[in-house]
Amino acid sequence: MCEHRQIRYTGREDMISLSAWLRRNMVPLALTPGSEDAGIDIAARIDACYRCVDLPPDDEIVIDRARVREANRSVVTLATIDPIACRLGEMGKGLNRDRLRLLARHGDIRPVGADSDTGTKFYRLGDVLHAHFARNRRGAK
């Protein structure tokens, strides 16, 4: 198609540069005979690129009682609670840095230790979850 319109591409061969060039030349290319099939070819090439670089989805995490007991003994901080809560699924719903801060401020949870250099406080995940659900129940009444 580029030959038909005498359009030359002299840019870099990376995806962003090629995409920008294609966007700038979309109308001239669309008016080229045979362009109605080009969309299918372009989409197929893009899909092939995604297959090369796209990461597979995370494995589904199954939460059973043994894993919960093990997790309950793990230690969390304000900095680590968000990613951990996201991985807990429904159990971690509403649990984040601000929630942990609120639980600590209201005395619902106490740290099991602290780093004397940084002041970082450490909490047991099981204690955090217990306080989180207890506060939810109190708020729902």
So what's the pLDDT on residue 1?
52
Fold classification of 65-140 is Multidrug-efflux Transporter Regulator; Chain: A; Domain 2 (1.10.1660)
**pTM as predicted:** 0.52
Per domain, the residue ranges of the chain are 2-53, 65-140
Separation of first and last alpha carbons in the chain: 69
> Which amino acid is it at 49?
C
Instruction: Read off the pLDDT of residues 74-89 as tens digits, 9 standing for 90 and up.
Output: 899 999 999 988 888 8
- Contacts for 75 with CB less than 8 Å, ≥ 6 apart: 112, 113, 122, 123, 124, 125
